Amino acid sequence: MSSGPQHPAPAPSGLSEAVAEDLALYREKFRRRLPKSLDELRGPTHGVVDLPLHVAWSGMTSYDLGKPRQRMGLYRTVLHDGLDDDLPRYLNQALLLELWPVLRTLVGRSVRAVWEDAFPQLASRTPTASMTPPSPPSAPGP
């Protein structure tokens, strides 16, 4: 059982009842796949990872964790299409926490909402104004 609530997250307001129900069912699909704890995510941190076809069914199947774009692609693919056993096998807790501030912008809203609801340590890693790089100094006047 995950650390988050066991009830479906509310659907955004303004949706028809049927659409809201579909969204709740879609989110529940991801919620059922969640590990009990991020500590269960003990996947590789380096090397090349080959995903099975049931996960990487429409694109790359081999990812080099030494290449940032491929690492991000692997995590996005596993979060969206991985099953219960795939998450701990292919995801690593430390890497997920490191990648989350950017990764959360690359996954769908439902995946993001379900993971951040279940694991507050992910939600706390969202970028804030204090993480925005400072503006460069203005050039001296004429």
pLDDT tens sequence across 75-107: 999 999 999 899 999 999 999 999 999 999 999
Q: Give which of 75, 71, 78 is closest to 56, Cα–Cα.
A: 78
Packed helices 68-81 and 109-118: angle between N→C axes, nearest 10 degrees:
80
CB atoms within 10 A of CB 85: 9
Q: Is the pTM of this model over 0.95?
A: no
